[in-house]
Structure 1
């Protein structure tokens, strides 16, 4: 498994990470998947306090006992859940972040978090206060580095210019090339890494994804998706299946340190991991994919 440096940090993460949101709430099954991921070379685990109201963090904490030193552990903050109230409220305040980190540390059964990420963000947030919270947590040794999870270019630019983020997590795939317009060039210039979620576009970019393409995706209708899927399947014939082509496309960007496809079964997990051994896309293949797919653009929050 190849490892890439995360931004300008001292962290080196497996190019295939594990997005833990889809592990589910069956602790035995989820723990087995985490252990298999680690055994097969994945060292980057991404969770959030939002997932299953903290249960996901608890499962990860149990699963990595005795393995903590070998893991780059990432979680997220900003969505405030209060018992007795419906749903979550957005809270990027310094007070909440410094309180929430203690709860995440408790659930994860660790005394530090490698990568602490703001789970969203708007220009209306008290951004200076948010950054101050992360910087203080670094000084206190509770986190090693911080980043943001956002698809909003205007928010990403603010943090790139005003903070010491080492990463941006964003949706990115052949079907969602929006980061290519503004985000990827900026991050590459500044030495900040992209962590790509959704590389197989909700399963559409897999060999078994034809049915999922029926509803369309972003600005693609089902006919366009069907046609593009056929081309991509043919392109990889003999060397890569569709999902591996999709994952290798995302990893071809110099700014991308890792992809974090989710896995809810052992079969999915092993298939994701196998992408690390798949043939890289040639320059001609990359050019063909870019020519045949859409250059999506962010319409809001530019």
Structure 2
């Protein structure tokens, strides 16, 4: 495994997203023992960046990682997120990045994760009711206290990123970025590079779609967020299958899996990018991390870059309102 810097934070070139172990996807929470083995295998393979959030569950994904990392905390750059649970009463899925809410959130995350510090603490979504300067100022106080080491933003737009970075250095911005979600290339990525901020792409495999294993809407159980996702329903689903088939064909030519090709394409976009493919299976984490060794020719990279964009929004209408891209 190779390592890169997000700002001044060194991380593995490929990380691990833990959400699906507990939340949001078919099979989540059904085999915690396998999920813990997956975390351990990732560490053995050189993965250091592991990502979670208080909203995943809520709370249970952080608790799971707390179990998995007992005795291994010093091997990990541990990232979690705040701001999608209003602890004052409104509860989960309500944006609140006020200083008071951040104080409550960080103490809960520290306890569940079984640690005295969070290496990378992200604002999960920009809170329109709290100036970003107040939010970052509050997290900067946690940095001064040693409870947080680095500050991140998730799905923030260029203006928010600049304003936040003026208060305290932002180490990384997390955003959806993959062969089928490329909207940040024009507006966000240039700002990150200007300011020296790293990019952490989540859903780098298109919520599993780019692996070629998602072929039928009926595969999604109740509670799987893809059931209502515009890209995974109706005519959009059928049209997007053609994109997955193209990736699969290129992978066959390259002697790799579709997941490895999709990740290798992302890695080729710059040495300031550390994707966090999610999985709850040992076999998949081994497959994903092997993408670090895959070298695609300029011709193959060009073919991949010229694939048509996916059809449909990346989130439901309510989810799209929370994004700044």
Q: Deviations over 1:193-215 (max 9, x none)?
A: 00001111121111323436998
Cα-Cα RMSD: 2.9
What's the CA shift for 1:71? 0.8
C-alpha spacing 1:241/1:93, structure 2 compared with 1 (3 Å): same
Distance in 2 (CA, whole Å) between partners of 1:266 and 1:39 is: 11
Q: Which residue matches 2:60? A: 55
Q: Which residue matches 1:4? A: 4
SS in 2 for 1:168: strand
Of 177-186 and 145-154, more deviation after overlay is shown by 145-154
SS in 2 for 1:261: coil
What's the CA shift for 1:147? 0.5
Q: Which residue matches 1:261? A: 277
What's the CA shift for 1:222? 4.4
Structure 1 unaligned segments of length 5 or more: list them.
none
Q: Which residue matches 1:14? A: 12
Q: Which residue matches 1:133? A: 138
What's the CA shift for 1:182? 1.0
Q: Deviations over 1:21-65 (max 9, x none)?
A: 111234433222211211121111111111112121122112112
After TM superposition, the structure 1 = structure 2 runs for residues 221-236 of structure 1, keeping only pairs within 5 Å, are 221-222=236-237, 224-236=239-251
After TM superposition, the structure 1 = structure 2 runs for residues 188-199 of structure 1, keeping only pairs within 5 Å, are 188-199=193-204
SS in 2 for 1:103: helix
SS in 2 for 1:98: helix
Q: Which residue matches 1:248? A: 264
SS in 2 for 1:52: coil
Distance in 1 (CA, whole Å) between partners of 2:283 and 2:107 is: 35
C-alpha spacing 1:167/1:143, structure 2 compared with 1 (3 Å): same
Q: Which residue matches 1:201? A: 206
Structure 2 unaligned segments of length 5 or more: list them.
23-28, 218-225, 315-319
Q: Which residue matches 1:273? A: 289
C-alpha spacing 1:224/1:280, structure 2 compared with 1 (3 Å): farther
SS in 1 for 2:146: coil
- Number of residues paired by the alignment? 299
What's the CA shift for 1:180? 0.8
Q: Which residue matches 1:104? A: 109
Distance in 2 (CA, whole Å) between partners of 1:253 and 1:168 is: 16
SS in 1 for 2:273: strand
